[in-house]
Structure 1
Amino acid sequence: MKQEINISVSPKQASSEEFYKPILAEKLHVDENRIQLINVKRRSIDARQRVIRINLSADVYLDELPVEEKIEFKYDLVDQKPSVIIVGAGPAGLFAALRLIELGFKPLIFERGKNVSDRKRDIAKIHREHLVDPDSNYGFGEGGAGTFSDGKLYSRSKKRGNIRRVLEIFYANGALPEILIDAHPHIGTNMLPGIITSIRNKIMEAGGEIYFNSRVADLIIENDRCTGIMLADSTIVEAEAVILATGHSAREIYEMLYEKGISIEAKSFAVGVRAEHPQTLIDTIQYNQPVRGPYLPPATYSFVEQVDGRGVYSFCMCPGGIMVPAATAPGEMVINGMSPTQRNTRFANSGMVVEIRPEDLNEFRHLGVFAGLEFQRNIERLCFSLNGKTQFAPAQRMADFVADRFSQDLPETSYHPGLVSVPLHDKLPKRIRTRLQEAFKLIDKKAHGYLTNEAIIVGVESRTSSPIRIPRKEDTFEHVKIAGLYPCGEGAGYAGGIVSSAMDGERCAEAFAENYKLASK
């Protein structure tokens, strides 16, 4: 017999079944020996009160064990099936490929970067030698930008697809089972490369094909229908359709589409800085106690403020994480964050960004749809010029930044290439600087101690999303003017993270399959 039950327990009680099993038995009014299995379905932390509680939702099986349900996905051989080109091997592209295989189609993935193992070596060069390979870096390569990140598996896009299915696919490919129950699950950058490799192997074992070091230079368009791609070496590949899942940093794709007269449009995005605090300070603020203790995870946070008519918010918060150099081309300075599975470094970092709308960019108005893209480029080049034209990052203590005061020194940091003290209060564009300064004051009123010189801000966090959308039809998911072209994921403006990108990849695959079936009748 199965009983569904919710309990609120202490962090220690939630840490082990030996502690919460008696509590469940008491609440169910049964002998503890009758409990044969406890399946925790959901776990979340409630730190709103002085005494922290852990909320557990569980299925409790009395007197008998349930029939075991294995999580597995079947991928039949598709090597002789109709093919679909996927441009980009990030989460949108990889999940589109897996779904196409399930639907009986052969995916052909073309990725400008390298496989995840070779990509690691190029990323190491960024840290050691400050050399950025424009095709293999934190943004480009197998797994996309999400491979070297915190690996958050949380999305507000519940109407866009099956979140549970995405989590189960990650679990089936090596993620820890906790991602299936935690309210805000994450995988961790140390585990993601192995998981991405497992997904690649499944695609190839089923007859799909993946081509690395294969930059797409053009689309083949005939009678307003996309029938294939041309690679940078002039190789032409044809297929039934093209799923364009290039990620938010593939700027050359937008330029290529524009030159071909294929509709793209400007959209809002965000630019700001990375804020880094000691993790112990964030723990104290969020848990309202001097020491976190052994049974609580490193604390996270999420802040949203409105300043002068624009949103200022935290983005990709990485507890127990590190900051990394995420430029995708020489001459840029871009900062991102990531965390290992255990989130066990001494630092907490998060993007703190300001909403930028197309109408805010009057000085770039002459560039039309590329105004936001040029604004991004300008601020990335500016921050690169401030650091001696290396991957040393410009930084300032947070309280100094708010007070318009130069930081004479900087604290320890997780950013391995190194920091340079720069008066960012004098260098960042006014529309970003003043809103960040005011937002930090507002946040400190809610989370006292957040605004401190123990924290630093580092420039620049500019790749939260693309400033350009590639529009598509709501019903067929095809481009509004070009049949057979499926704009997909973050780069197309329809996702904002690993899970939403994965779900969008699946939806594009399903839309293609439905359109193909209708066209074949």
Structure 2
Amino acid sequence: MIHEIQVNVLPDVVADEVKLKKIAAKEVGIPVEEINEIRIIKRSIDARRSPVKFQLKLAVVSGDEPQSIPPVFQGVNVSGAPEVGIVGAGSAGLFAALQAIESGLKPVVFERGKDVKSRRRDLAKINKEHIVNPESNYCFGEGGAGTYSDGKLYTRSKKRGSVRKVLEWLVAFGADPDILVDAHPHIGTNRLPKIIEAIRQEILTCGGEIHFDAKVVDLLVESEEIKGVEYLHEGKSTRRLFSNVILATGHSARDIFYLLHQKGIEIKAKPFAIGVRIEHSQELIDSIQYHGETENEYLPPASYSLVEQVDGMGVYSFCMCPGGIVAPCATEPGEVVTNGWSPSKRNNPYSNSGIVVQVTPEDLPGDINDPFICLNFQKEVERRCWEAAGKTQKVPAQRMIDFVENRVSEDLPKTSYLPGLESFNLNEVLPDILSSRLQKAFVAFGKKMKGYYTNEAVLHAPESRTSSPVQIPRDRDTMEHIRIKGLYPCAEGAGYAGGIVSAAVDGINCVEKIAAKIIAS
């Protein structure tokens, strides 16, 4: 028999099965010895007051009820099955490939970047030598931008598809089963690469194909129908024919936007967010969020979520990384971009988060019908920051209160950003539409989180790749491009997702539409 209960317990109880069983037995009204298993269905932290507690949803198993079965992926041989072309091996592309196998289709994946291990050399060059490889960086390569990120798995897009399937497949390929129960699950940058490798091996074992260093440079279209792709590999151009192509290229594949526009395939400008990445000490954030309970070994590094309406535009925290590192995420020479990531234990001494301003085409000067109006704004900010920091992968930086009070910081605190910082008044490099709102938002955030507003916090500029500034429009029902049959704009790069899980869900959904179409025909 299974009883589902909800309890609030102190942090040490979660790690003590004996204590947890006693509480569960009392709540259910049965003897402790009758409990065979306790499954945590959902776990979250309630830090609204001291003492901090965990909110648990439990399945209490008694009697002859079978033990829980670990998730698995049921792969089948699809080597001779109908093919689906998938452009991009990020979260959307890889999960589209898995869904294709489950649906009896053969995935053929084209990834402009390198495999997950080979990417590391290029990431090291960005950090140490300030060299940006346009095809292999924090955004491009196997696993996409998510591989060398915090691995956050929280999403609000739960009505768009099976979030549970995505999480279970991740567990099947090596993720910690805790991601199935945590309210804000994450995997960690140190563990994601092995999971990505396991997914790749399964795709290949089942008869799928994955081509690295294979940059798609053209879409073959006839009579408004997709016919295939053209890609470059080792300087050689090759055409591959497909009736269905999933375009899962990520939010930074600007060349794809230009290609579509040149071919007369509709794209449009999309609202996005841009700002800075702020870094505090993790000890400070723990103290604020846990009401001074910083010595509790059972509490994880604290996170935060902040939002404020400033002069008619939203300013909010984005991709908050407890115990994290600020990373250089440029995809081309002549620009700087920041992002954040965390290891699985989130045990770095720093805490970082993007603090960004929501920008729409209507907020910017120029023609709002120009599909590149937001992209051009994004590029201009990245270029200006690159120039301000000396035309390297250093970033212009400033202490928080100095920024608000419009003065250059005389010195800067230690930072996790390896390429280095250049002290600069960010009010002179960021457009006023951003800087004036960020100034007001930081003061407001300091009132919401006492101690957050401090000159020991440092701003890194810019945080600019929050989402795609361009959308590739698609039909709501078929998920195909509004004009090109067989072309499936997918996930973040097309403007329809915002993170690892939502992108994976979108990739799965696209394949389900393709499979249904093939069956119907």
TM range (shorter): over 0.9
TM-score normalized by the length of structure 2: 0.98
Q: Distance in 1 between matches of 2:37 and 2:477?
A: 44
User: What residue number does 2:104 align with?
Assistant: 104
> CA offsets per residue over residues 187-214 of structure 1, 9 Å max, x none?
0000000000000001010000000001
Letter in 1 for 2:343: P
User: What residue number does 1:79 align with?
Assistant: 79
Is 2:249 the counterpart of 1:240?
A: no
Is 2:298 the counterpart of 1:313?
A: no
After TM superposition, the runs of 4+ consecutive aligned structure 1 residues lying more than 6 A away are none
User: What residue number does 2:344 align with?
Assistant: 341
Q: Distance in 2 between matches of 1:322 and 1:502?
A: 24
Q: Distance in 2 between matches of 1:315 and 1:16?
A: 34
After TM superposition, give the deviation of residue 5 of structure 1 in Å: 1.2
Query: SS at 2:441's partner residue?
Result: helix
Is 2:387 the counterpart of 1:354?
A: no
Q: Distance in 2 between matches of 1:126 and 1:343?
A: 23
Q: Contact 2:11–2:53 at 8 Å: present in 1 too? A: yes
User: What residue number does 1:493 align with?
Assistant: 495
Question: Which runs of no fewer than 5 residues in structure 1 stay unpaired?
Answer: none
Letter in 2 for 1:34: E
Query: SS at 2:210's partner residue?
Result: strand
After TM superposition, give the deviation of residue 317 of structure 1 in Å: 0.3
Query: SS at 2:488's partner residue?
Result: strand
> CA offsets per residue over residues 389-420 of structure 1, 9 Å max, x none?
11111110001101111100001111111111
Q: Distance in 1 between matches of 2:76 and 2:60?
A: 36
Query: SS at 1:476's partner residue?
Result: coil
User: What residue number does 2:174 align with?
Assistant: 174
Q: Contact 1:82–1:239 at 8 Å: present in 2 too? A: no
Q: Contact 1:404–1:426 at 8 Å: present in 2 too? A: no
Question: What are the equivalent positions in structure 2 for 1:35-184 lying under 5 Å apart?
Answer: 35-184=35-184
Q: Contact 2:40–2:57 at 8 Å: present in 1 too? A: yes
After TM superposition, give the deviation of residue 267 of structure 1 in Å: 1.1
Letter in 1 for 2:296: G
User: What residue number does 2:262 align with?
Assistant: 259
TM-score normalized by the length of structure 1: 0.98
Q: Distance in 2 between matches of 1:161 and 1:219?
A: 28
After TM superposition, give the deviation of residue 234 of structure 1 in Å: 2.5
Q: Which of 375, 378, 388 is residue 376 of structure 1 equivalent to?
A: 378
Q: Contact 1:337–1:350 at 8 Å: present in 2 too? A: yes
User: What residue number does 2:425 align with?
Assistant: 423
Question: Which runs of no fewer than 5 residues in structure 2 stay unpaired?
Answer: none
Q: Distance in 1 between matches of 2:497 and 2:293?
A: 38
Q: Distance in 1 between matches of 2:252 and 2:97?
A: 21
Letter in 2 for 1:151: G
Query: SS at 1:21's partner residue?
Result: helix
Q: Distance in 2 between matches of 1:454 and 1:68?
A: 48
Letter in 1 for 2:112: R
User: What residue number does 2:277 align with?
Assistant: 274
> CA offsets per residue over residues 44-75 of structure 1, 9 Å max, x none?
10011222111111111123352542311211
Q: Which of 431, 444, 447 is residue 445 of structure 1 equivalent to?
A: 447
> CA offsets per residue over residues 15-63 of structure 1, 9 Å max, x none?
2212211111222232211111111111110011222111111111123
Q: Distance in 2 between matches of 1:405 and 1:26?
A: 60
> CA offsets per residue over residues 138-157 of structure 1, 9 Å max, x none?
00000000000110001100
Q: Distance in 1 between matches of 2:292 and 2:357?
A: 31
User: What residue number does 1:299 align with?
Assistant: 302
> CA offsets per residue over residues 420-461 of structure 1, 9 Å max, x none?
111112221000000001011111111011110110110000
Q: Distance in 2 between matches of 1:412 and 1:290?
A: 25
**Residues 512/403 of structure 1: CA separation in 2 closer, same or farther (3 Å cut):** same
Q: Distance in 2 between matches of 1:125 and 1:65?
A: 54
Q: Distance in 2 between matches of 1:219 and 1:488?
A: 15
Q: Contact 2:39–2:59 at 8 Å: present in 1 too? A: yes
Query: SS at 1:274's partner residue?
Result: strand
Q: Contact 1:89–1:141 at 8 Å: present in 2 too? A: yes
Q: Distance in 2 between matches of 1:298 and 1:266?
A: 37
Q: Distance in 2 between matches of 1:21 and 1:367?
A: 61
User: What residue number does 2:215 align with?
Assistant: 215
Identical counterparts, % of pairs? 54
Q: Contact 2:474–2:482 at 8 Å: present in 1 too? A: yes
After TM superposition, give the deviation of residue 310 of structure 1 in Å: 0.6
Q: Which of 314, 323, 328 is residue 326 of structure 2 equivalent to?
A: 323
Q: Contact 2:362–2:368 at 8 Å: present in 1 too? A: no
Letter in 1 for 2:76: D
Q: Contact 1:283–1:292 at 8 Å: present in 2 too? A: no
Letter in 1 for 2:470: I
**Which sits farther off after the overlay, 69-78 or 499-508?**
69-78
Letter in 2 for 1:307: V
Q: Distance in 2 between matches of 1:89 and 1:123?
A: 18
Query: SS at 2:261's partner residue?
Result: helix
Q: Contact 2:226–2:485 at 8 Å: present in 1 too? A: yes
Query: SS at 1:107's partner residue?
Result: strand
Letter in 2 for 1:377: K
Query: SS at 1:174's partner residue?
Result: coil
Letter in 2 for 1:422: F
